[in-house]
Amino acid sequence: MAVDQVLADGLGGILSGDEWTVEREELEAYGHDETEDLSFLPEVVVRPKDPGAVPAILELAHRLKVPVTPRGGGTGLSGGALPVRGGIVLSLDRCDRILEIDTGNMVAVVEPGVITQVLQEEVERVGLYYPPDPASRGSCTIGGNLAENAGGPHAVKYGVTSDYVMGLEVVLANGKVLHCGGARRKDVAGYDLAKLFVGSEGTLGIITRATLRLVPQPEERAVLLASFSSLRSGLDGVLAVFKGLTPSACELLERDAVEAAARHLGRPVPVPGAEALIVMEVDGFTRDDVERQMVTAGERLEAAGAVDVRVAMTRKEREELWALRAATGEAVKAISTYKEEDCSVPRSRIGELVMGVKEIARRAGIRTICYGHAGDGNIHVNILRMDADEATWRDRLPAVIEEIFSLTVKLGGSITGEHGIGWTQRRYLPLQLGPVEMETLKAIKDALDPDAILNPGKIFPG
C-alpha cells in the first residue's frame, strides 16, 4: 500500500529500517486483534524498540493529521487495536523492559510492552505479587491492560488494573510527554491524571511507562470445584460463598461451557448432567488459614445445593481444576461464530442477569453460553450464531444485544466490565451513559486530542 511520502520520510528520520514497515503481510497481521473476524488495513506499522521514540512519532502524526492506533499484544475483545481509520498502527510490543522491581517500596516500573505473565513471574521470584490476571495474561501486555483497565479471576479479592497504578508516563497526541504519580503512596496534588488514562483505550495518550503497586505473594492456595444440578442453585452458591469470606477467585460456568471446555481438553466433565459449576480459589499465608476457608466455603456451597464438591491443594491438582475454566473461552469460540458480551452488575444481581439473558435468548430463538467472573458480577455472555444465515444473524443480533444491555443497566450494571467499548460496543454506550456523561467524555477527548488522531473511531458512537 502506498504510504504518504512525507510520512515515510518522517518515520525514516526517527526510526531504524526494522522499526517500521509497509509490507502487506505485516499490515495484515496488525490489522486484526482477537475481536470476532474483524480486520482493517493500516498504512504503516511502527514498532519502536525504545519508548523514547514515541514523542517524535506522535509529533509527526499530529503535524500530518495521521491516525495512530496504539497496540500491545493484540488480544483485545472489543476491537480497540483495530486501525479502523487506517494510518499508523503503533505497536509497543518491543518496548518490553522491566525497568525496576523495588522491593522496599513494593513497586515495579515497566515499559508498556511487558507481557503480564512475565511481570507476574518476575515479581514472584522476590516474594511479591502483581494480581491483575486477565485469562490472556500469557500474551497481553501491561500497556493493553492499562488501556482497558483489565480484570481477571483474581479481581474479586485483589481488584483490577487501576487498583495497581501508581504512576504513568504518557505521550500526548501532540508528542508532549506527561508524567503523573510515581512510587509515592499518597499524592493529592491536582487531578488524578494517571487514573484518567487507565481504561481510556488508547484514545487520550500513549502509555510509555508505568509504576505499578505490588503486594506480598500469598504462600498458600487451594481450589474448589462445586457442581450444581441447576443454574439457579449455582448462582445462589456464588452469593452464599461471600458471607464472611473473600475468595481469591470465584468463577461460574454454565453446563454448555463446562461441556465445551471438557471436550476441548479431551476429558470427562466433572459431574455428568450438572447444570452449573463454580471454580473457586482461596489464598492466604498459612496452610491452616487456607484449609479453614475451604471448609467454610464447602459448607456454604453444599448448603446452597452443590451436589459435588472437590478440593485441590497441591499446585498440580489446582492447575488441573483451573484448566477447565482456562479452556472455556477458546472452547466456546470453537463451537460457532459468536459475539461475546461482557456484562457487569452488582454481585447480588447476577442471578437476575443470567436468568434474564436466558429468557431473552429463549424468546429470540438464539443460543447463549454464560460463564465468567461471577464473584465480581461480571459475566461473559456468548451469543452463538450456530446455523443462522448471515442476514438473519446480522439482523437479529443488535436487538438481542440491546435487550441484554438494557437489562444489565436496569440492574445497576455496566455494558462492559473489562473488555472495553472499543469499536464493537460504541453504538451501545448511550444505553448506559446519559447526555451529560457523554458530553463530559467528549470534552476530555477534545481537550487532549483536538484533531482526533488517537485511536479514532473508538468509544464514541457514530
Ligand X SMILES: Cc1cc2nc3c(=O)[nH]c(=O)nc-3n(C[C@H](O)[C@H](O)[C@H](O)COP(=O)(O)OP(=O)(O)OC[C@H]3O[C@@H](n4cnc5c(N)ncnc54)[C@H](O)[C@@H]3O)c2cc1C
Min. distance of Cβ 96 from ligand X in angstroms?
11
76 part of the interface to ligand X, by CB under 6 A: yes
Cβ-contact 175, 78 below 8 angstroms: no
Under rule CB under 6 A, residue 147 binds ligand X: yes
* Residue 399 to residue 104: CA distance in whole angstroms: 53
Residue nearest to ligand X (CB): 144
Q: Phi, psi (5° rounding) for residue 439?
A: -60, -40
Q: Which of 418, 429, 445, 453 binds ligand X (CB under 6 A)?
A: 418
Report strand pairing: 378-384 vs 306-312.
unpaired
The amino acid that residue 78 corresponds to is S
Using CB under 6 A as the binding criterion, the count of chain residues that bind ligand X stands at: 37
Q: Cell numbers for 57, please give them.
A: 512519532
Indicate if the alpha-carbon torsion angle 313, 319, 325, 331 is positive or negative: negative
Q: How many CB atoms lie within 10 A of CB 85?
A: 17
Q: Interface with ligand X includes 143 (CB under 6 A)?
A: yes
Output phi, psi for 92, to 5 deg. Answer: -95, 15
CA distances from 142 to 212, 251, 376 (A): 10, 23, 21
Please report, for residues 112, 208, 227, the alpha-carbon distance to residue 320 in angstroms, rounded to integers and kept in the order given: 31, 37, 16
Which span sits near ligand X by CB under 6 A: 217-225, 360-368, 408-416, 418-426? 418-426
The count of C-alpha atoms lying within 13 angstroms of the C-alpha of 423, restricted to the half-sphere facing its C-beta, is 22
Q: Is residue 261 a contact point for ligand X (CB under 6 A)?
A: no
**In this complex, which beta carbon is closest to ligand X, that of residue 202 or of residue 375?**
202
Nearest approach, Cβ of 349 to ligand X (angstroms)? 20
Q: Which is nearer to ligand X, 172 or 353 (CB)?
A: 172
User: Among residues 74, 86, 131, 247, which is the contact residue for ligand X, using CB under 6 A?
Assistant: 74
Q: Which of 58, 150, 225, 306 binds ligand X (CB under 6 A)?
A: 150
One of 32, 47, 62, 71 touching ligand X (CB under 6 A): 71
Q: Which stretch binds ligand X (CB under 6 A): 7-15, 130-138, 238-246, 424-432?
A: 130-138
Tell me which residues in 366-395 interact with ligand X (CB under 6 A): none
Under the binding rule (CB under 6 A), the answer on residue 31 touching ligand X is: no
CB of 364 to ligand X, least distance (A): 26
- Minimum Å gap between C-beta 365 and ligand X is 28
Phi, psi of 226 (to 5 degrees): -120, 130
Alpha carbons 224 and 279: distance in angstroms, whole number:
6
Tell me the β-bridge partners of 213. 107
Interface residues with ligand X (CB under 6 A)?
33-34, 69-77, 80-81, 92, 112, 134-136, 140-141, 143-145, 147-148, 150-152, 201-202, 206-207, 329, 418-419, 422, 455
